[in-house]
Each structure stands twice: as structure tokens, then as C-alpha cells.
């Protein structure tokens, strides 16, 4: 791994990202519990309260939680942009995001309109504060041009997602707000393609070559690809909002978005096939599952144009969240978390003038057998989830149970890494 371009000395305290990483799997467990409790009833409609709650347990409670925590670590180290008062920012945003997500999901599950207002306010504050601080910090970034550029665009997409989401939430609270046609689809698309996908792409430009020892992404892709995807998404949104009856035009911009996602997935798989270290790596497997899921989403979207099955759109949502986004984030976690432990132990040893102290390598921080167990459980859960879209009465509860178990394994693995840090930091002092 090449550390030359990293600002290792600017790393914030370990508690900044770790509080997000330790909380996120708990929301996955909550999602599994809700789906297991409701069973096949939950998958009767994409508008079922249990599905809406479960979806936001995963998108806000896991994906946004991990990404907000990771960016507060990667921004100073990867992009050379120092964040002022990182502990205060992480504490406030973590508390607001956690509380807001719990209130939002409780509002759906308990059908309490008053909770939607409180949830919207807290989530709006959490995400707005995070975006403003990160954009201000990135304006002073000194390195990582492609990733910095991509992160700025992804944060703008996050702001659009948040604005649409808060507007929709206030509508649930009983406010007489006029919704544009397809606003829910706008919110979902900006969240999954605008925020999640563009951020994963931008971070991948840096972390895939760095951690997987692959060639760099092509220069034209790193320079122009994400801004083009953002512009296409804006055009798609305009058509969806004001010319929804223009099906041909809507499908044209949808096809451009699909082509962009397909290009990224194929380029990533190609780079991973050319990695210079042919050692088995669970992170590599998670990335491959993520890219394969993204390709499957594209195939299913094309099939949905012919209206072959009424559940195909539901399948796309499941595959985008569980298959593409969460697989990639899990893969990143198994590189970022061990790297954080190694980095903080290294900085701590240098600060105590113990430069000859033997720091555990990243494979020792989270042993391969622990991450391999998580990958196998997650892969089986993913297969059952796909089947549950079409036959929920047989597969949804087993999939939910495996989702809970895989999240428990993940949180145990992160706690194991934390115990490694505590043990060796104590040894440094002795």
C-alpha cells in the first residue's frame, strides 16, 4: 500500500469514525428484526410501513452512518483537508443522525405523524451540518484531486437527497405540502445514484488502487465521469418532474445513467482482475459482489421496460441497497478499519517515542477467517433476499435472520479491531 500521498499526521481521533462504524450494524440488526417480525406481509408493497422503515434503517442507519464516519476520517488523511473540531462535529452529527433515524422509522412502524416532524428536523440538521463543514474543509484540500472533486459533487447530491427527503417527511407529518409528480422516485434515485453511487465511485478512485494494488482508473473517467453523471441525473430529474408523460425522453436519460453505472462496474472489475497482489482478499470478494449486483440491476431494469414481472422494480431497490451499496461499503470497512487501527497505533507509538514497537499489520487487526465468515453469511443472505422479492413467504424470514447474524458478526469484527488497539496501546505504555 502506498502511503506517500496520505496526510497520516492529520488523522482525527479514533473515536471520530469508530462511533459511526460501531453504530451502523445495530441499524442493520433493527432492519432484520422488523422484516422478520412482519414476514411476507412486509413485501406486499414498496409502500408498506415495514419496508419504508427497513429501507431507511439501511440507507440512513447503515449507509449514511458509515459514509459520514468514513468521510470525517478520509477527508483529512486522503484529501489533505483538515476538519476543525472533528470530535465535536462527529459527536453532534452522530447523535442527530442516530436519533433522527430512530424517530423516522418509529413514525412509520407506529404510524405517529407527529414523530415525522421531529425526525425531519433532526435529520435535516445532521446532514446539513455535515455537508456544510465537509464542503468548507474540501475547499482547502491540497491533494487527491479526483476524489476531492467527486466528493464535492456527491455531497451536493446528498444535499438534494436530504432536501427531497425532509420535504416528503413533512408531508407524512400532516403538513399540506404539494408534492411534485414522482417525488419519491426522485428522492430514491438521488439517494442511491446521486449520493451513494457517486461517492463510492469517487472514493474508489483512490482506495481501490491503494488497497487492492491495482492500476489507476483511467484519467478521463476520474476527471469527467462523475460530473457527467451528475448532469445526466439533473436532466433525468427535470423530465421526471415536469415531463413525466414523455416516456421516451425519460428512458433516454435513464439509459444514460445505466450506461454510466455499467461502465464504472466493468472498469472496476477489469482493474481488480489486474491487481498486482494475487493473495486471497475478502474485500476483493465484496467488491466483486457489489459490481456483479450493479450489473444485475442494469439487466433487470432493461427487463422491466418490457413489463415481464410486476416485482422487477422492487428487485432493483433490493439489489441496489443490499447488493451494490452495502457490499461495497462492507468491503471498504474491512480495509478502512484495520488501516485506522494501524495508523493510530503507529502515531501513538511515535508520540511516545516507541518507534521500534512492532505494530500489528492490517491482517492481524481483523483476521481473515473473521471477515470470511461475514462474507459467506452476507452472500447467502443476499441470495435469499433476491428470492424473497418473488417468494417472500418462503425466503424473507430466513433472509432477515441471516441479515441479523451477519450484522452481529460485523460488529464483533469491528469490536475485535478496537480490542487490538486497546491491547497494543497499553503495551506501548508498558
The pLDDT, as a whole number, for residue 179 is: 64
Q: Are 111 and 37 in contact (CB under 8 A)?
A: no
Confidence of residue 19 (pLDDT cuts 50, 70, 90): very high
pLDDT digits (tens, 9 = 90+) for 195-217: 999 999 988 998 888 888 889 99
Q: Are 222 and 12 in contact (CB under 8 A)?
A: no
Of the candidates 292, 293, 285, the one whose C-alpha atom is nearest the C-alpha of residue 212 is: 285
The pLDDT, as a whole number, for residue 381 is: 98
pLDDT digits (tens, 9 = 90+) for 253-274: 988 999 999 999 999 999 998 8
Between helix 198-212 and helix 145-172 the angle, nearest 10°, is 140
Q: What percentage of the chain carries pLDDT values higher than 90? A: 62
pLDDT digits (tens, 9 = 90+) for 346-360: 877 776 666 667 788
**Joined grid coordinates for residue 157:** 447530491
- Give SS3 for 101: helix
**Joined grid coordinates for residue 429:** 505504555
Confidence of residue 308 (pLDDT cuts 50, 70, 90): confident
Q: What percentage of the chain carries pLDDT values higher than 70? A: 93
Q: Which stretches of 10-78 are assigned E, i.e. beta strand?
A: none
What is the rounded average pLDDT of the residues 223-236? 94
pLDDT digits (tens, 9 = 90+) for 328-350: 999 999 999 998 998 888 877 77
pTM above 0.85, yes or no: yes
pLDDT digits (tens, 9 = 90+) for 78-122: 777 888 899 999 999 999 999 999 999 999 999 888 899 999 999
The pLDDT, as a whole number, for residue 146 is: 79
The pLDDT, as a whole number, for residue 418 is: 93
The pLDDT, as a whole number, for residue 217 is: 93
Summary mean pLDDT of the chain: 89
Q: How far is CA 33 from CA 5, 20, 50, 77, 192, in A?
A: 43, 20, 10, 36, 23
Residue 360 DSSP code: P
Q: Let me know if domain 10-429 sits in CATH 1.20.210.10.
A: yes
B/e letters for 347-369, b = 16+ CB within 10 Å, e = fewer, are ebbeeeeeeeeebbebeebbeee
**Joined grid coordinates for residue 127:** 446532514
Does residue 411 surpass a pLDDT of 60? yes
The pLDDT, as a whole number, for residue 2 is: 45
Confidence of residue 4 (pLDDT cuts 50, 70, 90): very low
Confidence of residue 248 (pLDDT cuts 50, 70, 90): confident
The pLDDT, as a whole number, for residue 9 is: 62
**Joined grid coordinates for residue 52:** 419504508
Amino acid at each position: 500500500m502506498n502511503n506517500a500521498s496520505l496526510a497520516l499526521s492529520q488523522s482525527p481521533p479514533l473515536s471520530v469514525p469508530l462511533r459511526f462504524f460501531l453504530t451502523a450494524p445495530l441499524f442493520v440488526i433493527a432492519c432484520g428484526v422488523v422484516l422478520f417480525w412482519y414476514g411476507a406481509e412486509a413485501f406486499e408493497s414498496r409502500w408498506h410501513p415495514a419496508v419504508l422503515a427497513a429501507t431507511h434503517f439501511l440507507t440512513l442507519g447503515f449507509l449514511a452512518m458509515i459514509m459520514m464516519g468514513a468521510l470525517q476520517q478520509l477527508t483529512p488523511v486522503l484529501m489533505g483537508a483538515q476538519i476543525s473540531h472533528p470530535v465535536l462535529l462527529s459527536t453532534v452529527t452522530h447523535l442527530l443522525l442516530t436519533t433522527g433515524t430512530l424517530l423516522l422509522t418509529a413514525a412509520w412502524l407506529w404510524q405517529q405523524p407527529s414523530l415525522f416532524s421531529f425526525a425531519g428536523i433532526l435529520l435535516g440538521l445532521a446532514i446539513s451540518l455535515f455537508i456544510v463543514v465537509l464542503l468548507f474543509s474540501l475547499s482547502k484540500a491540497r491533494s487527491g484531486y479526483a476524489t476531492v472533486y467527486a466528493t464535492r459533487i456527491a455531497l451536493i447530491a446528498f444535499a438534494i437527497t436530504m432536501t427531497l427527503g425532509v420535504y416528503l417527511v413533512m408531508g407524512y407529518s400532516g403538513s399540506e405540502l404539494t408534492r411534485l409528480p414522482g417525488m419519491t422516485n426522485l428522492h430514491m434515485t438521488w439517494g442511491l445514484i446521486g449520493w451513494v453511487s457517486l461517492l463510492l465511485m469517487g472514493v474508489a478512485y483512490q482506495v481501490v488502487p491503494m488497497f487492492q494494488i491495482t492500476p489507476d482508473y483511467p484519467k478521463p473517467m476520474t476527471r469527467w465521469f462523475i460530473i457527467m453523471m451528475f448532469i445526466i441525473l439533473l436532466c433525468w430529474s427535470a423530465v421526471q418532474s415536469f415531463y413525466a408523460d414523455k416516456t421516451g425522453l425519460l428512458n433516454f436519460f435513464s439509459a444514460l445513467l445505466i450506461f454510466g453505472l455499467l461502465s464504472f462496474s466493468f472498469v472496476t472489475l477489469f482493474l481488480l482482475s489486474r491487481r498486482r497482489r494475487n493473495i486471497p482478499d475478502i474485500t476483493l470478494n465484496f467488491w466483486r459482489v457489489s459490481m456483479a449486483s450493479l450489473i444485475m440491476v442494469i439487466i433487470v431494469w432493461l427487463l422491466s421496460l418490457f413489463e415481464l414481472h410486476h416485482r422487477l422494480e422492487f428487485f432493483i431497490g433490493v439489489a441496489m441497497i443490499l447488493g451494490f451499496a452495502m457490499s461495497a461499503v462492507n468491503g471498504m470497512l474491512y480495509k478502512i478499519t484495520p488501516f485506522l487501527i494501524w495508523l493510530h497505533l503507529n502515531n501513538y507509538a511515535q508520540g511516545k517515542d516507541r518507534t521500534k514497537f512492532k505494530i500489528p499489520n492490517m491482517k492481524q487487526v481483523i483476521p481473515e477467517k473473521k471477515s470470511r465468515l461475514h462474507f459467506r453469511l452476507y452472500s447467502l443472505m443476499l441470495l435469499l433476499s433476491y428470492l424473497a422479492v418473488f417468494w417472500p413467504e418462503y425466503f424473507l424470514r430466513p433472509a432477515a435472520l441471516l441479515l441479523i447474524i451477519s450484522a452481529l458478526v460485523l460488529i464483533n469484527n469491528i469490536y475485535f479491531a478496537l480490542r487490538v488497539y486497546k491491547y497494543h496501546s497499553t503495551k506501548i505504555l508498558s
